[in-house]
Amino acid sequence: MALQPLTGKKIAVLVESQYVPGEIEAYRYGFGTLGAEVHFMSRLWGNPRLSFVGEVEQTSQTPQTLDVSIDFQNVELEDYAAVIMAANYTSVRLRYFAPPEGQPVSPEMVRAAPAVEFFARAMRNPRIVKGPLCHGLWILTPCPELLKGRRVICHEVVLADVLNCGAIYVPQDAQNHGVVVDGDLVTGRSWHEVEPFIQAVARQILALNAEM
Q: What is the pLDDT of residues 124-146, one digit of tens each?
A: 999 999 999 999 999 999 999 99
- β-sheet with 129-132: strand ranges across: 70-71, 37-42, 10-14, 82-85, 129-132, 185-188, 179-182
Mean pLDDT of all residues in 183-192 = 97
Predicted local distance difference test score (pLDDT) of residue 118: 98
Question: For residues 4 and 24, what is the distance between their CA atoms, to the nearest angstrom?
Answer: 22
- What single DSSP character describes residue 63? P
Task: Give the pLDDT of residue 58.
Answer: 59
Judge contact between 200 and 181, C-beta under 8 A: yes
Instruction: Locate the domains of the chain by residue range.
Output: 10-211
Per-residue confidence at 107, pLDDT binned at 50, 70, 90? confident
> Smallest Cα–Cα separation from 202: which of 15, 43, 26?
26
Q: What is the pLDDT of residue 1?
A: 46
Exposed (0-12), middle (13-18) or buried (19+): which is 37, by Cβ within 10 Å? middle
Q: Which long-range contacts (CB under 8 A, 24 or more apart) does 151-154 make?
A: 151/180, 151/182, 152/180, 152/182, 152/185, 152/187, 153/178, 153/179, 153/180, 153/187, 153/188, 153/189, 154/187, 154/189
pLDDT tier, 53 (very low <50, low <70, confident <90, very high otherwise)? very high
The CATH architecture of the domain made up of 10-211 is 3-Layer(aba) Sandwich (3.40)
Averaged over 105-109, what is the pLDDT? 87
Give me the mean pLDDT over the 26-42 stretch: 97
